Chains A and B, each alone.
Chain A
Amino acid sequence: MTASAIGALALILVVAPLLPALAGRTVAFLTGRRGAPLLQPYRDLAKLLGKGAVYSRTTTGVFRLAPAVVLGAALVAAGLLPLDGRRGLAGFGGDMIAFAGLLALGRLLLALAGLDTGSSFEGMGASRELGFATFSEPALFLVLGALALATGESSLGGMLGAPLARAWARAPATLAMVGVSLGIVLLAEASRGPVDDPATHLELTMIHEVTILDHGGPDLGILLYGSALKFALFAALLAGTFLPRAAWPAPLAVAALLPALALVAILVGVIESAMARLRLVQVPHLLTGAAALAALGVVLRVR
């Protein structure tokens, strides 16, 4: 448990809501609009947390528990990730499996909360969220497998730490493919275009936004923050893959996280404005493509 790990964790917890805002701002810029101010998410969060709660009579305790579990799981997952390029706050051998498991826990509770409302909208969102995870999960694990093979390590701290810099010198092709694949997984997991459309709420084509339709007040605030944090975690994973910072001085490594995250968010915004949203049946194709890329990266490391 080092100061830099704590600092990086604090940093990402603070800036997480900025990322969706930055991506949205990029989309607005590219489509000739001005967009919402960058600090708007914080105002939204403050407003939502101050509101009273409204619950559907259909819902049970699962609905009320879900926001806590979603955010709690994301927080613990943040503790596993080596955000300062060295070692997670609580990294251990095999922590990448726990990282994926924690995000899966959040997804499960989100889906259950959606189904708890008894509405078809939320059911639809839950169904899609669960269905697409069937393809993003293997892609994520193939990415992790390729990283493990490229670095010879089996913990996030090793895969994204010092051995990664050496691996870039030895196996750039594998790591480049892994990075692209991870980027696609990010788009799906963080519910961004072309997989999902974060801009609209009540459309039958939406996934994440429609699952949380019935949440309001503090619950919605927690869920929004949780999904922003998930975005930030994947962005940090991506940044860590392309930018091994283990050899940098600790303050610099932590500080570099900020521009790296911003870059990922801007890229996401660019992709979102450049590509039309995929038809829902095509999303598994895209994710299979991501898995194939990572698998190719693995093939190159199979000797």
Chain B
Amino acid sequence: MSLILAAVAVWLLGAVGWALARRRRDLAAAIGAGAAVVGAALGACAAGSALSGREAQVLSAAWPVPFAGLGLRLDALAAAFLLPLCLIGALCAILAVPTRHHADGGGAGAGFAAFNALLASMATVVLAANLVLLLAAWEVMTFASYALVVTDHDSRAVREAGYQYLIFSQLAAGALLLLFLVLAAATGTWELAAVPVAHARTAVAGLFVLMVIGFGTKAAVVPFHVWLPAAHAAAPAHVSALMSGVMITMGFYGLARFLPLLGPPSPGVAFTLIGLGAAGALGAVLLALLQRDVKRVLAYSTVENAGLITLAMGAGLLGQWAGAPELAVLGWSAALFHIWSHSLAKSLLFGGVGAFAHEARSRDLEGWGGLLARWPVVGGLTVVGALAIAAVPGLSGFVGEWLIFRALFAGALVLHGVARAAMVVGIAVLAMTAAVTLAGQARLIGIGLLGTPRREPPAGAFRPPARATTAPLAALAGSCLLIAWFPAPLVAALAGALATLVPGGAPTLVVDAVRPLGSLALVLTGVVALVAVLRGALAGRGVPRATETWGCGYAGAPGRTQYSASSLAEPVRQAFAPLLRTRVERLGPVGYWPAEASWRSRTLDRTVTGVYRPAFGGVSALLQRLRDLQEPRVTTYLRYVVLALLVVLALLFLPIVVRP
């Protein structure tokens, strides 16, 4: 416990320490990054020991805030979320260092202050054993991340993205406040209960909705994901990496911690999560395939993975409800494992792609191309991240996806009726999602990093990358491979967390299940290496000739006549056209000698155009009407005051308000 307290303290010191060195960017960056790394190391030690520990470490102290207490508890579930936080937090802090001289980099003092505050608040969220403390940490987390998102606040788009993020976060926080109030009223204490309290059935439904809104917004569960693509595109790369890799897992921590408090799992809750997860994953991955902004591609991919995790949680709950222990254990461990593997791969990808975007001075995929040849090391590491996200065997993403598939297959075999049908539909949707994910990552890498440049990068770009850029990315890529090769130890390490989620489940079942996957990844690596060596021997006998790409005799403008990102995605877009809302603008070609022609498509997020825009428009229209209540006369306001007083007094006569 003292270790983690020390970690939080170091982070908080880092958050204020930059003030000492405001003028000197190098010193500020050293202090900020140093504090983040030292704190993370301390935190990782604490989490590592707690991961296997049977007993939760508890600390409670008085805190002079009403209802609050400084109650902290570090159990296996908290540790399962704390460890990736520390690991990725430290690496992202190192990634931030080279950006300290950029105007938009966020690596300067203030940026590190917010970064350290974000780490400290996220750690407090997973540790908090008191609802008020949890909510306070949650809000600090929101504001710290908001500050990081608007690092480049000279840009109007960035300010708008930040504003949107803040609004959604506060709506979610409102839901959480309500949730905590109801829970506290039911239990009679502000301590985070460890055991469920019996609620009425309607109350369970209401509490569940509040949880999905409150935690789901942070976790980017569709349809509460809308803030995420804009915020991730606006934030500096290392911030997106941290937010996408770690901060969204806070939402899942909340769900994992609070869903069991609803009492015995109900099919409604499970099916809702499965439905939201499956629909969200497929919808988001289609949007990811159709974005032009590279960081929005990654952001929608994050939403997709959030959907997969939600789906896995739903499957686990369904297993608990139906009394199918195999499904319950597989589902929950799939969720936990996927949280880990996605955290690592997505922060790697955000780090790599963000570095490229900074060098190219553009996030437009249609202008990229041939970047791997300029930066082979960063490019190669980015390809590893993309393969991990594409969930192909040999990398970490596959293990998570395999576990979800495995859970659904297990569910299809043991469940009956509607539940069985839901499992099979889930399998089909997941398969389609996987295929579209593959296409999306192929598009990101193939169009963005391979081929020839579509637009020349600015002069002076792509100087050899800093060690502080490549080293963290290499560490992340290494861990993606390591998890794929040895998944069983990780699953075994998560057994304690699993035991708190599925009491009485047998985690060894999953450990044994994933063991062949490790061998598979190793064998695959070996076979591929063998074939590569053979191929090299065959191809290397003569001097390989270098020529142009065969272009049917046409040799003009090789960069601009390449297949574009939009055209690559076009077959999928057309096939899914009824589901998508795409604006296509086309011009010409007209006549026998067409002068100019253009084709441009833009696919919008239906939840934005269909739900939020009308809803917020309606609210705003309603509020416009309330303006009429305002009158520049004091007597009017006095009348309002009297009216309000009367209403409050009248409430006292209602029996439900005044309890005996």
Determine whether A and B are in direct contact in the complex, meaning some CB atoms lie less than 8 angstroms apart. yes
Residues of A within 8 A of B (CB): 49, 52-62, 64-65, 67-69, 71-73, 75-76, 79, 90, 92-95, 97-98, 100-102, 104-105, 107-108, 111-112, 114-124, 126-128, 130-138, 140-142, 144-145, 148-149, 152, 154, 202, 213-214, 217-219, 222, 280-281, 284, 291, 295, 298-299, 302-303
Bound-state CA distance A111–B451 (Å) is 12
Chain A residue contacts of B524, Cβ below 8 A: 72-73, 76, 102
A54: B residues at CB distance < 8 A: 544-547
B438: chain A residues at CB < 8 Å are 104, 107-108, 130, 133
Please tell me if B420 contacts chain A, counting CB pairs below 8 Å. Answer: yes
Residues of chain B within 8 A of A93, CB atoms compared: 406, 513, 516
Size of the B side of the interface (Cβ < 8 Å), in residues, is 89
Residues in A with CB closer than 8 Å to B513 are: 93-94
Which among B434, B539, B546, B575 is the interface contact of A137 at CB below 8 angstroms? Answer: B434
Q: Roughly how many angstroms separate A143 CA and B439 CA in the complex, as a whole number?
A: 22
C-alpha gap A19/B424 in the complex (Å): 33
Is B442's beta carbon under 8 Å from chain A?
yes
Known: A138-B435, A145-B409. 16 other contacts (CB 8 A): A55-B544, A60-B373, A90-B523, A94-B409, A98-B520, A112-B445, A116-B450, A117-B549, A127-B567, A127-B570, A137-B435, A145-B427, A148-B409, A217-B538, A218-B539, A303-B417
A285 to chain B, nearest CB (A): 9
Q: Which A-B residue pairs are the 10 nearest by beta carbons?
A: A123-B563, A115-B446, A131-B571, A72-B528, A118-B451, A92-B516, A141-B431, A68-B532, A218-B538, A130-B439
Q: Which single member of A56, A140, A218 contacts B546 (CB below 8 Å)?
A: A56
Interface residue? B394 (CB, 8 A): yes
CB pairs A–B below 8 angstroms (20 shown):
A53-B539, A53-B545, A56-B548, A60-B376, A68-B528, A68-B529, A71-B531, A73-B393, A90-B523, A98-B520, A108-B392, A108-B441, A117-B451, A118-B559, A119-B562, A130-B435, A133-B435, A134-B436, A138-B428, A140-B431
Interfacial chain B residues near A95, Cβ < 8 Å: 516
Which of B56-64, B487-495, B550-558, B636-644 forms part of the interface with chain A?
A: B550-558
Q: What CA separation (Å) do A76 and B531 show in the bound complex?
A: 12
CB distance from A35 to the nearest CB of B (A): 28
Q: Is the CB of A127 within 8 A of B571?
A: yes
Closest partner residue, chain A, to B538 (CB atom): A218
Residues of A within 8 A of B569 (CB): 127
In the bound complex, do residue A111 and residue B432 qualify as a contact, i.e. CB atoms below 8 Å apart? no
B69 located at the interface, meaning its Cβ lies under 8 Å from any Cβ of chain A in the complex: no
B107 contacts the other chain (CB 8 A): no
What is the bound-complex CA distance between A118 and B369, given in angstroms? Answer: 9
Task: Specify the chain B residue showing the minimal Cβ separation from A281.
Answer: B574
Interface of A, helix, strand, loop or mixed by DSSP: helix
Specify which chain B residues have a CB less than 8 angstroms from the CB of A152 in the assembled complex. Answer: 413
Q: Are A142 and B435 in contact (CB under 8 A)?
A: no
- In angstroms, Cα B413 to Cα A95, docked, is 16
Q: Which residue of A lies closest to B445 (CB)?
A: A112
**In contact, B549 and A131 (Cβ under 8 angstroms):** no
Contacts of A303 in B (CB 8 A): 416-417, 420
Minimum CB–CB distance for A288 against chain B, Å: 9
- Pair B450/A119 contact, Cβ less than 8 Å: no
Q: Is the CB of A116 within 8 A of B451?
A: yes
Complex Cα gap A133–B570 (Å): 14
B439 to chain A, nearest CB (A): 4
Judging by beta carbons under 8 Å apart, are A120 and B571 in contact?
no
Of B401, B429, B528, B569, most buried by chain A (CB within 10 Å of CB) is: B528
Interface contact A65-B532, CB-CB below 8 Å:
yes
B513 smallest CB distance to A (angstroms): 6
Residues of the B chain whose Cβ atoms lie less than 8 Å from the Cβ of A111? 439, 442, 446
Taking CB atoms, residues of chain B closer than 8 Å to A127 are: 563, 567-571
CB-contacts of B457-493 with A (<8 A): none
- Contacts A127-B563, A133-B435 given; does A58 touch B370 at CB 8 Å: yes
Nearest-Cβ distance from residue A45 to partner chain B, whole angstroms: 11
Residues of chain A with a CB closer than 8 A to B535's CB: 64, 67-68, 218-219, 222
Nearest B residue to A69 via CB reads B528
Query: A295 vs B432: C-alpha distance in the bound complex, in angstroms?
Result: 14
Instruction: Point out the residues of chain B lying under 8 angstroms from A131, CB to CB.
Output: 439, 570-572, 575
Check if B405 is an interface residue, CB within 8 A of chain A: yes
- CB of B391 within 8 Å of the partner chain: yes
